[in-house]
Amino acid sequence: MTGPETALDALDGLLERAAELIARARRLVVFTGAGVSTESGIPDFRSPSGIWARYDPLELSYQNFIASEEGRRKYWQLGRELYATVRGARPNPAHLAIAELERLGFLQCVITQNIDNLHQKAGTSPERVIELHGNATRARCLACGEPYTRDEIQARLEAGEEVPACRCGGIIKPHTILFGEAMPLLETLEAERRARAADCFLVVGSSLVVYPAAYMPLYAKEAGARLIIVNLTSTPLDEHADVRIPGKAGEVMAGLLARVRARLVR
């Protein structure tokens, strides 16, 4: 029978093992998903209260966005709701802990599936953040390339424009990757290179069910890296993890950093 004290002892043991792997790492790569941002108020996708419980991902595909005005109207309806949350979101203790790993000299890079810019807001160097699914703060015209900030598009949406179009008449699209859209080539290649060079690979807040992003932990394992998975629920890659820590990213990451810091003063 697991009482509260034995559950805490078990968590403590997991945090100690993970902290030991991180403290010994020379090439630590962190990989994040939407679960690292839910404590900042941004919904994830596959939890019961996630975005895909309210919207059909197939309706929001790249093909639908390009093919019709109706497809773009549906996209911007979600985009307007989500961006209002993203714009006001603040980094939470998990983002701050990852930024501290860089300050302590451990972090090679953060490979993120998130588009919320919170790693950068938390202080992680932008050049160390690889955004596999783009970034929600920028947009552009697909016809003439005219750049737009997401804030100016948001203002147009909030003023009642349902499908913002470019001055040239072209389609305006955010710098985020939709289902069916090609992945950003340079970011994907760089993420794979970094994963294959890692000696410790830390996953925080991802269901690890979307490919090719979810290949990254496997590339690291293939290359001999230690794999740590921090997630509220189980993932298909848990069996490959050297340490799996179930729990909330903010609490777990704060506990992890406290133990890594303690090792540095020994």
Which residues form the interface with ligand APR (CB under 6 A)?
33-35, 38-39, 44-47, 50, 113, 133, 205-207, 210, 231-233, 248-249
Q: How far is the CB of 57 from ligand APR (least distance, A)?
A: 6
Q: Which is nearer to ligand APR, 166 or 252 (by Cβ)?
A: 252
**Cβ at position 51, least distance to ligand APR in Å:** 7
Distance between CA atoms of residues 164 and 142, nearest Å: 12
Rank residues 179 and 199 by Cβ distance to ligand APR and give the closer one: 179
CB 188 to ligand APR: min, Å? 13
Helices (H), the chain: 4-24, 62-67, 69-88, 93-103, 118-122, 150-158, 185-197, 215-222, 249-264
Quote the DSSP letter at residue 210: S
Residue whose Cβ sits closest to ligand APR: 35
Alpha-carbon dihedral of residues 198, 202, 207, 211, nearest 10 degrees? -10
Shortest CB 47 distance to ligand APR, Å: 5
> What are the DSSP calls for 137-188, one per residue?
EEEEETTT--EEEHHHHHHHHHTT-SS-B-TTSPBEEEEEPPTTSPPPHHHH
Helix (H, G, I), strand (E, B) or coil at 61: coil
Cβ distance to ligand APR smaller for residue 100 or 131: 131
Q: Which of 119, 133, 175, 240 is catalytic?
A: 133
Count CB-CB contacts under 10 A for residue 72.
21
Output 58 or 264, the one with its CB closest to ligand APR. Answer: 58
Please state, in angstroms and rounded to a whole number, the distance separating the CA atoms of residues 49 and 234: 17
Confirm whether 95 is a catalytic residue: no
Please identify, using beta-carbon distances, which residue of 57 and 145 lies nearer to ligand APR: 57
Query: Which of 76, 189, 183 has the alpha carbon at shortest distance from 134?
Result: 183
- The distance of closest approach from Cβ of residue 262 to ligand APR in the complex, given in angstroms and rounded to an integer, is 23
Task: List active site positions.
Answer: 133
